[in-house]
Amino acid sequence: VQKFSGYLIKLRKLINEALEANLSGDNVEKQVLTAMRYSLFIGGKRLRPLLCLVGAKAVGGQIEDVISYACALEMIHSYSLIHDDLPIMDNDDYRRGVPSNHNIFGESIAMLAGDGLFTQAMILMTDRKKIKKLNYRRILMATQMVMDSIGWKGMIGGQSADLLAEKHKVNLDEVQLIHAKKTGAFIAASVASGGLLAGGNKEQVYTLNRYGQYIGLAFQIADDLLNISGDPELLGKSIGSDNVKGKITYPLLIGLTKARQVGENLIVKAVKLTEKFTSAAWLLKDLALYIMQRAY
């Protein structure tokens, strides 16, 4: 099983510290803040903020300048997981090794905790003190790119298509489109936003985005493979749930071996793109290789 290199583990520690600093403070509305912190801090690989930091490094940028922006991406991701697990969505009872947010705080607080994490992300992305080293025009561009990737053309659209697909038979092309939207778009925007914020040129940002699309699609294929053959202890979520819901996935349509092969091929394409970078190519490569080899 591929493990993060020491440097990525160090970056993840930085992310966790920055998240703590960016979601604490006076506990006025105790219940919802507790629920927000519960899901954000209980676990998580921190893949999207890591990608943002590595995207910045790939164009020669500084980690410190984009770290709070990277934290905002993890808040957005955590919001999407809380909502994804709700009974009216995937109805999943475990996440990040513990009971899902709604199983602890109830459905209405879980919904608000998701909303609260999303708005906290927006507060962070527009906090002049935290992003003072960045170019304002680039912040606007990156933020629109991220919002596009999680809106109706991206994650929200993908989540909606994903739910509808439980009721209809979908083919491989349709599954690919759903995956690209619900998971790939935000992963691509995460790595590209780092490059954009840190001063990358058009071609660099475009290349990071394509790299992100490849690994993002592979990431969802790996997620679906792990839902069949993963270790629930390691994963921190229940397995077999896609099957119960009748979810159409790559492994269901083409089998486990072929699905894995499709994922591996996408990683090969992503790794090829890392050759275009000099400063952090090895980190981009490390992250790409990790995607299909991960056990959780």
Residue ranges in contact with Mg ion by CB under 5 A: 84, 90
The amino acid at residue 188 is A
The strand pairing partners of 94, in sequence order, are: 99
What DSSP state is assigned to residue 94?
A: E
Site for ligand IPE (CB under 6 A): which residue of 59, 81, 82, 291? 81
Residues written for the chain:
296
Residue 230: CB minimum distance to ligand IPE, A: 10
DSSP states along 108-152: HHHHHHHHHHHHHHHHHHT-TTTTTTS-HHHHHHHHHHHHHHHST
User: Cα separations (Å) of 278 from 56, 57, 58, 67, 163?
Assistant: 12, 10, 7, 21, 41
Site for ligand IPE (CB under 6 A): which residue of 101, 149, 183, 204? 183
Q: Is 47 a residue that touches ligand IPE (CB under 6 A)?
A: yes
Residue 232: CB minimum distance to ligand IPE, A: 12
Block residue for tokens 């992963």 = 187
Select the binding partner of residue 286 from ligand IPE, Mg ion, none (C-beta < 5 to 8 A, by kind). Answer: none
Q: How many residues interact with ligand IPE (rule CB under 6 A)?
A: 18
Q: Could you tell me which of 206, 186, 196, 194 has the C-alpha nearest to residue 64?
A: 194
Contact segment (CB under 6 A) with ligand IPE among 6-14, 89-97, 110-118, 274-282 equals 89-97
Nearer to Mg ion, 224 or 286 (CB): 224
Query: Would you call 295 helix, strand, or coil by DSSP?
Result: coil
Q: Round to whole Å and give the CA distance between 157 and 181.
A: 7
Nearer to Mg ion, 65 or 84 (CB): 84
Q: Is 181 a residue that touches ligand IPE (CB under 6 A)?
A: no
Q: Is 80 a residue that touches ligand IPE (CB under 6 A)?
A: yes
The token duo for 86 is 């709700």
Near ligand IPE in 95-154, by CB under 6 A: 96
Nearer to ligand IPE, 166 or 275 (CB): 166
Site for ligand IPE (CB under 6 A): which residue of 220, 260, 286, 288? 220
Residue 109: CB minimum distance to ligand IPE, A: 19
